[in-house]
Structure 1
Amino acid sequence: MEAAPEPGPVLRLRHCGAAIFCRRPPPLCPACGRPLRGAGLAAAPVRLPCPFRHGHRQRRALLLRPAAGSFLGGYDGGADLHVGITNGDGVVYNYDEEGIHRDETGWEQCISVPLVQPDMFELLQQWDKLLEEFSVGEAWLPHRYEEHDYNCYTYALAFINSILTAQGKQQMSKSEFTEKFVIPQTKNASKYITLHQELTTKDFYIVPLPDQENQGGN
């Protein structure tokens, strides 16, 4: 089956007290009908950064993707997310009812959170070995898996905590893990998904701006 074509970029411009989102900049403002050419800097289209990354190109990172489907392929914000951790080659280690997987495909549209900074030389060298040794432990055998209490999040958090412990740092609780790694990323992604869904059925999506953001606009 051929992959669905990637959607075009989401552009934003400001005019007549509104934020206007589109795929291609129009010659006339869709809110007031006036020309946008020469309307000032605010009316210049700005490309919004896409929050999703090709997971297998992310090294030593935490990845999040929908358990089924894709973020831009009908994700409603309420479906379960699956998490994994990449090694230095972009292979995604993840845990489910079948045990540990080492995926080389299937994570092409993900939220990615880097776990290792460029100056962590020792950890950069040891990451693959630590991840593999951790993943072959009996804790991650298939029969241990429980959908709500012992799952892919448990695996990812346990590995991250093992790294923190080795560095002499304090471990994270599940709530801290969710607050730090999951919520900020999914909030940003949710806004982008809303724009993407609106622009699949219409040419423009118009949002009134608060008064303080209107200053300097037309």
Structure 2
Amino acid sequence: MPPNKMYISTVNHIGCTTRFLLVEPLNFKSKCPDCQAKIEKNEKWTISRLPCPLAQSHEDLACGIVIKPSNGHFKSYKLGDDLHIGISNSQGLIYSFWTKGIEIDTSKWENSLKILDFRAFFFENLNLLDNSMDFFVEIQRKMKKFDKSKYMENDWNCFDFVMEYMKFTNYRNYRSKIDFLEEFVTKKLENVVKYCMLFEKLSNK
């Protein structure tokens, strides 16, 4: 399993009521904290992976709106730090806007957070989603609305790019970025911070 994966599993076994948490890959030298039984790969042990809020593959990233820290990783993120936001197509390619203009990329978005899934809105028609994204970008490049020279960190940035796309598709027209953040970001971001703190705590045991 690649080292950047961030999975946490619950572990327990027959004959003991204690359930405990471990990060993956599991260390099979570990022992039950209650009865000291050694973890084994057999039917006596139950290992269940907790839902991970962060995208662990291109499939997890696909067809939605995703966010990540502007600098670093969610492991070191603190509430209030700057975020970068983008829109993903059906292949997990991320369209975003920053100092270099509109960028299409996927390599920099490992362990990002998908805050909205567009599949239901496009009635599972992924071609329609991809075409709308490409058409939107083509229009913006012709209009130079999101040219790199127009980028302003606080007044015309990646969040504006995403909200313009939502307006373009008639998904939603927000009065402010705060409304968008309250609906899609705040609660999920708090959950990610808690998950990462737990992952780090378990990793350093």
Q: Same fold (TM over 0.5)?
A: yes
Equivalent residue of 2:107, what SS? coil
1:118 and 1:127, CA in 2 relative to 1: closer, same or farther beyond 3 A? closer
One-letter amino acid of the structure 2 residue matched with residue 11 of structure 1: S
Other-structure match for 1:195: 198
In 2, distance between residues paired with 1:129 and 1:180? Answer: 26
Asked if the contact 1:62/1:114 (under 8 Å) is kept, the reply is yes
Partner of 2:63: 60
Structure 1 unaligned blocks of 5 or more: 38-42, 203-218
Q: Is the 2:5–2:56 Cα contact (8 Å) retained in structure 1? A: no
Q: Relative to structure 1, is the Cα distance of residues 134 and 9 closer, same or farther in structure 2, using a 3 angstrom cutoff?
A: closer
Quick check: 105-114 or 94-103, which moved more?
105-114
CA drift at 1:11: 2.8
Query: 1:108: how far off?
Result: 2.1
Structure 2 equivalent of residue 22 of structure 1: 22
Higher radius of gyration, 1 or 2: 1
Aligned-residue offset at 1:147: 0.5
Q: CA-to-partner distance for each residue in 1:172-214, whole Å, 9 max, x for gaps? A: 2322211122112212211111101112221xxxxxxxxxxxx
> How do 1:117-132 and structure 2 match up within 5 A?
117=120, 120=123, 124-132=126-134
Pairing partner for 2:189 from 172, 182, 186: 186
29, 48, 51: which is aligned to 2:50? 48
In 2, Cα distance between equivalents of 1:7 and 1:56: 13
**Distance in 2 between residues matched to 1:138 and 1:153, nearest whole Å:** 17
Residue 12 of structure 1 and its aligned partner are, at CA, apart by 3.8
SS class of match (1:139): coil
Aligned counterparts of 2:19 and 2:79: Cα–Cα separation in 1: 23
1:45 Cα deviation from its structure 2 partner: 5.5
In 1: Cα distance, 2:99 partner to 2:162 partner: 15
1 CA distance for matches of 2:47 and 2:57? 28
Q: Which amino acid aligns with 2:109?
A: W
What is the aligned-residue RMSD (CA, Å)?
Answer: 3.1
Q: When the two structures are superposed, what TM-score results if normalisation uses the length of structure 2?
A: 0.73
Hey, what's the Cα distance between the residues in 1 that align with 2:102 and 2:6?
35
Matched, 1:147 2:153: yes
Q: Distance in 1 between matches of 2:93 and 2:6?
A: 27
Residues 94 and 104 in structure 2, CA contact (< 8 A), matched pair in contact too: yes
Q: Say which of 82, 88, 91 aligns to 2:93.
A: 91
- Distance in 2 between residues matched to 1:82 and 1:195, nearest whole Å: 23
Any gaps of 5 or more consecutive residues in structure 2?
13-17, 39-44
* Matching residue of 1:209: none
Structure 2 partner of 1:210: none
Query: TM-score, normalized by length of structure 1?
Result: 0.70
Partner of 2:113: 111
Contact 1:21/1:195 (8 A) holds in 2: no
SS across alignment from 2:104: strand
Q: Residue 187 of structure 1 aligns to a residue in which SS?
A: helix
